[in-house]
Amino acid sequence: MRGPLFYSKILLFGEYGIIKDSKGLSIPYNFYNGALKIDEHHTIATKKSNESLARFAAYLKELQEEQPTLVSFDRKRMEEDVANGLYFDSSIPQGYGVGSSGALVAAVYDRYAYNKITVLENLTRDKLLRLKAIFGAMESFFHGKSSGLDPLNSYLSLPILINSQDDLEPAGIPSQTEEGKGAVFLLDSGSTGETAPMVQIFMENMKQEGFRNMLKNQFVKHTDACVEDFLQGDVKSLFGNIKQLSKVVLDNFKPMIPKEFHTLWKRGIDSNAYYLKLCGSGGGGYMLGFTQDIAKAREALKDYRLEVVYNF
């Protein structure tokens, strides 16, 4: 058995802000992917994934009993597959902010859910919200609390525009300019990050009025503007807003940025060679970079690993 491939995702804009109803824009990133497989040889490498899937299957059994109207699974088939060595064969790095657990959730829903909503249907807003709710409940096994957006993106393999927590739509994004000098890139921090502790810090900060005001008046404002600019292909305005967003994140989200990158982050803002922002919850993994001149950015970041994900 080999299941279909599910891709990683990149949340271009909206990390943390979507918790407080900012806009967001998430795109599939097919450089990384994963698929469910049965391991006939029972190797050490696949054993860990198989054990994790056994725990996940037990969690889904509880979920189905607690919320029978939300989702139901072919549990017998899943338990048999797990017993036969089911594992998730994935190239998606874990703890890097590109949706490794999201792809796994999408794959499990696709293979085992009864009455599943498929990509081939007319994806009404209600269907998207229902999928998001199902995926949020499923992915909570990995993160404590999940919005369900990562698995949704992976499952549909479409860019998704988040207007607010209960208003989603598939988005058309401008096609890439292959010869373009401008680029969105991933910058490897060289360490993994954990979502739950980062979200915990954010929630603690949200108790402070000053932080809440900053989030509403600066962070959400610039995030929303970036989403609009990106969708409309207004590159000049986009870079103005990304620079502001990068500053706001450096000033207010320092715990989410690995310490050794604080200077590098500021250098980008001061030189205009590149602007960095969080990719996912931060704390490690990838950071997201935006530049109007990828050659200039590569030179400025020559000691680091860059992966271009989109060309302007």
**Which residues make beta-bridge pairs with 275?**
290
> 44 vs 6, which has greater pLDDT?
6
Residue 182 pLDDT: 94
**Total-model pTM:** 0.89
- pLDDT number for residue 232: 94
CA distance 87 to 98: 19
Supply the pLDDT for residue 61. 96
* Banded model confidence at residue 83, pLDDT cuts 50, 70, 90: very high
Confidence band for 3, pLDDT divided at 50, 70 and 90 = confident
pLDDT score of 179: 80
Q: If you average pLDDT over residues 277-298, what whole number do you get?
A: 94
Distances 311 to 14, 97, 233 between C-alpha atoms, Å: 20, 20, 12
pLDDT of amino acid 40:
81
CA-nearest of 285, 305, 230, 167 to 13 is 230
What mean pLDDT is predicted for residues 134-138? Answer: 96
- 68 DSSP assignment: T
pLDDT tier for residue 108 given thresholds of 50, 70 and 90: very high
Q: How confident is the model at residue 122 (pLDDT cuts 50, 70, 90)?
A: confident
Report whether pLDDT(295) > 80: yes
Q: pLDDT-based confidence at 42, cuts 50/70/90?
A: confident
Q: What is the mean pLDDT of residues 181-199?
A: 90
What is the structure's pLDDT at 251?
A: 96
CA-based nearest residue to 280, from 196, 166, 160, 164 = 196
Q: Span 44-50, mean pLDDT?
A: 89
Q: Distance between CA 79 and CA 71 in Å, rounded?
A: 17
Q: Once rounded to an integer, what is the mean pLDDT over residues 78-103?
A: 93
Average pLDDT over residues 76-102: 93
Q: Residue 97's pLDDT is what?
A: 87
pLDDT recorded at residue 212: 93
Residues 6+ apart with CB under 8 A from 283: 193, 194, 197, 198, 255, 256, 258
Looking at the predicted structure, is the pLDDT value of residue 286 above 90? yes
Banded model confidence at residue 196, pLDDT cuts 50, 70, 90: confident
DSSP strands (E only) in the chain: 6-13, 24-38, 86-90, 160-164, 167-170, 183-188, 275-278, 286-291, 306-311
Judge whether residue 144 has pLDDT over 80.
no
Average pLDDT value for the chain: 92
* CA–CA separation, 191 and 251 (whole Å): 22
Looking at residues 49-67, what average pLDDT do you find? 96
Instruction: Supply the pLDDT for residue 266.
Output: 97
Q: In this model, does residue 60 exceed pLDDT 90? A: yes
Instruction: Give tens-digit pLDDT for 205-254.
Output: 999 999 999 999 999 999 999 999 999 999 999 999 999 999 999 999 99
